[in-house]
Structure 1
Amino acid sequence: MQSYICKTVKQILRVAVSAGNPVLESSDIFFFLSL
């Protein structure tokens, strides 16, 4: 279940980056994805 959530979060972040939204300012997100 955690892997599914992680994949979903990564997909959302990827869409946000492609849309040019400044959503990736939080280093906590990158820390979570690096786990």
Structure 2
Amino acid sequence: DDLPAQAVSFTITGGVDSGLFQIVGNELQFIAAP
């Protein structure tokens, strides 16, 4: 038996480098390339 699908969410919280990344859809991206 398959389990029903559940929504998954991600957030970036805290950390020195957190301002360098963003989550767009299902991808983790650099805000500006290093």
Flag whether TM exceeds 0.5 (same fold). no
Measured against the shorter chain, the TM-score band is under 0.3
TM (norm. structure 1) is 0.21
Rg bigger for which structure?
A: 2
Bigger relative CO (Cα 8 Å, ≥ 6 apart): 1
Determine which structure has the larger strand proportion and give its number.
Answer: 2
Determine which structure has the larger helix proportion and give its number.
Answer: 1
